[in-house]
Amino acid sequence: GILKQKGLEERKERIESIQKQIEAVGFQSYGISLSSAMDFDESSMISPLGDLTCCPDNKNDEKLVKLCGELSDETSKRDFLHKLRQNLMVLVAKSLKCQKIFLAEDSTSLAISILSNVAVGRGAQLASDCGFINNRYSNVMMLRPMRDFSRFEIEYYLRTMHYNCVEDEKNEDCSKMYSSIQKLTTNFVTDLENQFGGTVSTIFRTGEKISSGIQNEKREVCSDDSCVFCNGCLDTGAPRDTASAIEATNFSRIISSKGSNAELDLNKIGIIKDKGETSKGGCDDCSCSRKHNISCQDIRQFLCYACQLIFNDKSNVTILPAHVIKSVNERLRLKSMATEIQDFLL
């Protein structure tokens, strides 16, 4: 609500509407603010939905609004909020000792996700983002039990059973239709479905057949293979002697922005310097002692391609989600330790 600049009363009314809907079907309900994902810990307030309060002066709310304001465009903002919400659901599930999360995604929303994910650079993650099971998170599985039903079928069932749903506002300005890739894809798919009834089914079934060489599954081999923000496959790594599309994109961006002064930055394409970046020797200088002194480049090396588009080189490290900073620090420490002991290994 705060990101849409809604007042406290509007936010409270929406919470009450959701609570009534959940109580009507006999489920227990818990609530937590999305901004809690910015600094989540065991003491974070996960309260019954009826007891959830909206505080006007919340530091996490301020951090979330500031971070969203620094994102380059609406596409990045929507992608960031979607992944942040998933991270929060996993954190809450672990806190409540739940091993499974049921998502309300239908075939229509998944068809939209398939096209928009490919457009924003998450094509390698389709298996987990659109499949029945998303098990990229350790100890928690996300399930999509309604993925074989279209939105029309679900809405028809709800009307038949006299269930009322709390929906987002649909009366948006026409100019906002082109504000993001996700919004544009939504309008494209829904309009096409209204004219040609098999559109959603065709996209959805085609997406099921798409397989990736890198599967987004639980990291049984090494956790370094996953993105520190979305937990998807880390698709930015390539052998040093191998050219990649990501390196070509970075080359073009650096040349376009810096011209003849780009030589120093070109040396960093695809390579994070081992010397002087993660460890200088000694406890005072190594990465274990600089929890809040990591740079954007330190973070970007552990982000997938799509998340690198969200967090650019000018991102303010101090307002990033706490679990991202923690994960980056852990990996930097492991990398530093590996560098220090490699000369002693046979």
Q: 219, 131 in Cβ contact below 8 A? A: no
pLDDT digits (tens, 9 = 90+) for 99-108: 999 998 999 9
Interior/surface letters 111-134, b for 16+ CB within 10 angstroms, e for the rest: bbbbbbbbebbbbbbbbbbbbeeb
Q: Distance between CA atoms of 286 and 282, rounded to whole angstroms?
A: 6
pLDDT digits (tens, 9 = 90+) for 4-45: 667 777 878 888 888 888 888 888 888 888 888 888 776 567
**Tokens representing residue 27 in the block:** 């489920």
What's the DSSP call for residue 35? G
pLDDT digits (tens, 9 = 90+) for 248-288: 777 777 777 766 666 555 555 544 444 434 434 344 444 44
Task: Walk me through the domains of the chain, giving residue ranges and CATH numbers.
Answer: 1-70 (no CATH), 75-218 (3.40.50.620), 245-344 (no CATH)
In this prediction, residue 314 carries a pLDDT of 61
